[in-house]
Chain A
């Protein structure tokens, strides 16, 4: 008798996600689905609104990476205004972006994934969270909290203590950086860097303990996409959108953002409201590509900062030039954190950062604009069409989790086949499946939750719809 396993809800995902695992008559996994059950209405309800309101509206899409949406959005607006914004404005936008990357990566690694990695996938779910982590690895847990706070404070210091920073505006930013704020951030940087170094060291010392996870957490060759500069260095704010294949060959460089549609197609999936982008010349679904930290480090030749580059070398030495395992997203995330901190330091030590020429003004000079930035989770695209006076006629957003949709499906399937045995269902099996999802960090984590438990409800459903068995983690609730 074929049966169906449902992991629902996988909470702390932006929107709602559900994993269905189909079992065949022998209790083996026959297939999986990753569903996103939330409709994204933003494209529709922004119609008719002035384009320059898009940054603040779209920043509300996500509570955890509002800065990324702001950036992609203001870049699309800059394109509509057809302005080149002042250099200092670029620096300040980048600075805030790095703050965001640091806080988001810290949340993903320490709060959401470290409990699995350090306490064990099969450990007691009631204890497998940041509180458990605080008890067993107090230093590391405190580091995580401190690093996240550092990133958040950078954002707050720049935006004037607001949760949803309205400081990044079309044409630039709306107030210059005060010298004392710069000094404050600079004085805290060494502590943050020390945390990043320590955590990398710790992770490297234990990564060998996860051969099974490295091997089966969606470890497969795929294409990767990410931003780089003309010299092939890692970029997060702006750059060329580069596609690289599983062997490390350069596939395409999308130099002008507005050309993205030539290379990215979007397939609608019957099981999910989240569309599945694919590399258009490769066709669907062969054109699967991945974005995010793992992808960025595969796409870039190097980071371009000394410490991160040294770490990158060690990472590639261990796992190859193109790293395929989804589990190693975590490693890549830690290297990027160090990179972000190094770049921040360079920016803050440049006197130009205090310049007060920070905003360009203009009306509508182009009827279409595309903005591409790297969110912590990967490439984020905002594309607007406006009518002459500036009202939005059409909008298209491709979020990082969207790019990874096909890859997430594939990784979940691979992990389920390996770890789930329908005849002897154990919490740890499904936790591994949920952990695959967490490795992608699919805009998962709602900013308010600083705990490591993913409340998962698993239902074993017979073909007649009757629930045969349920398994529920400690705080799953309804």
Chain B
């Protein structure tokens, strides 16, 4: 058998044009897009926290939740593919209510004390809370006792501020190719861990590139030595990098 026959020919599907409705308005999209991508490409506002352009979507935060007509449950827009003749509602009172709950639950799960945080004023979680009018929290805080990993020479990981979006995990694995980060344990005990749970400063795989720090939406990952409010994240270079390389999603 000629050797050439063993190589499976990869079929790259050509994206198909589709039309769908978002909040009643007809838009055109392609069938390789998620609802979130289709909406944003058409200038629609879609809240999101764990989603980041260029990284594979995971549907972890549920802030992008939408209603799709004919489907009797709520769907995350970041992981649900757009489809022809789909009709999507992004902003019903019910959805607003759910998003608010999701945000409040993020706040009670860890110790988010904005006033003393390096990311105060530049935090995606804080901005989402402001956008959604979360002025108080209706659930009891859980005040977990969590460590701060200061072992890395240039960066710090403060679990108290982590929302488990896994953007750090994905950017490290998918863009930098180092795969230093992972999630250990389950449920509310979940923690971001470095390699097989060792102090970050002892990592053998970390390239010190800082991509995880720049994509982290909160002050959980930060540059060392930044005083309160001083940590402004720079996602732009990473977005450019992935757009030149082609996205994973």
- Determine how close the nearest CB of chain A comes to the CB of B222; give it in whole angstroms: 9
Interfacial residues of chain B within 144-176, with CB under 8 A of chain A in the complex:
147-148, 150-151, 153, 156
Which B residues are in CB contact (< 8 Å) with A48?
147-148
CA distance A187 to B230 in the complex (A): 31
Complex: A41 Cα to B228 Cα, angstroms: 20
Q: Is the CB of B227 within 8 A of A174?
A: yes
Residues of A near B198 (CB, < 8 A) are none
Most buried by B among A53, A57, A391: A53
Asked whether any CB of chain A lies closer than 8 Å to the CB of B124, the reply is no
Which residues of chain A are within 8 angstroms of B228 by Cβ–Cβ distance?
53, 55-56, 166
Inter-chain contacts of A391 with B (CB < 8 A) = 148, 150
Interface residues on A, range: 10 to 19
Contact of B116 among A56, A170, A390 (CB under 8 A): A56
Given A52-B227, A166-B230: A60 in contact with B115 (beta carbons within 8 A): yes
B230 touches A169 (CB 8 A): yes
Inter-chain CB contacts under 8 Å: number: 46
In the bound assembly, the distance between CA atoms of A55 and B116 in angstroms comes to: 9
- Tell me whether A164 is interfacial, beta carbon within 8 Å: yes
| Contact B230 A50, beta carbon cutoff 8 Å | no
Quick one: given A53-B116, A57-B116, A391-B148, are A166 and B227 in contact (CB under 8 Å)?
Answer: yes
Interface check B224, CB cutoff 8 A = yes
A53–B174 Cα gap in the complex (Å)?
32
Which of B148, B224, B225, B227 makes the CB contact (< 8 A) with A56? Answer: B227
A170 to B151, CA, bound (A): 19
* A363 within 8 Å of B (CB atoms): yes
Bound complex: CA A56 to CA B227 (Å): 8
Could you tell me if A389 and B150 are in contact, using CB atoms closer than 8 angstroms? yes
Give bound CA distance, A49 to B153, whole Å: 15
Say whether, besides A53-B116, A60-B116, A389-B201, A169 and B227 are in contact (CB < 8 Å).
Answer: yes
Contact with B along A201-229 (1 / 0, CB 8 A): 00000000000000000000000000000
A361 on the B face (CB < 8 A): yes
Query: A50 and B116: CB pair below 8 A?
Result: no
Closest partner residue, chain B, to A362 (CB atom) = B225
Q: 27 A–B contact pairs at CB < 8 A? A: A49-B148, A50-B156, A50-B224, A52-B224, A52-B225, A52-B226, A53-B118, A53-B227, A55-B227, A56-B227, A56-B228, A57-B116, A60-B115, A164-B115, A166-B229, A166-B230, A169-B227, A169-B230, A170-B227, A174-B227, A361-B225, A363-B224, A363-B225, A389-B151, A389-B201, A390-B150, A390-B224
B residues adjacent to A (C-beta < 8 A): 115-116, 118, 147-148, 150-151, 153, 156, 201, 224-230
A residues bordering B, Cβ < 8 Å? Answer: 48-50, 52-53, 55-57, 60, 164, 166, 169-170, 174, 361, 363, 389-391
13 more A-B contacts (CB under 8 A) besides A52-B227, A53-B228?
Answer: A49-B148, A50-B224, A52-B224, A52-B225, A53-B118, A60-B115, A164-B115, A170-B227, A174-B227, A363-B225, A389-B150, A389-B201, A390-B224
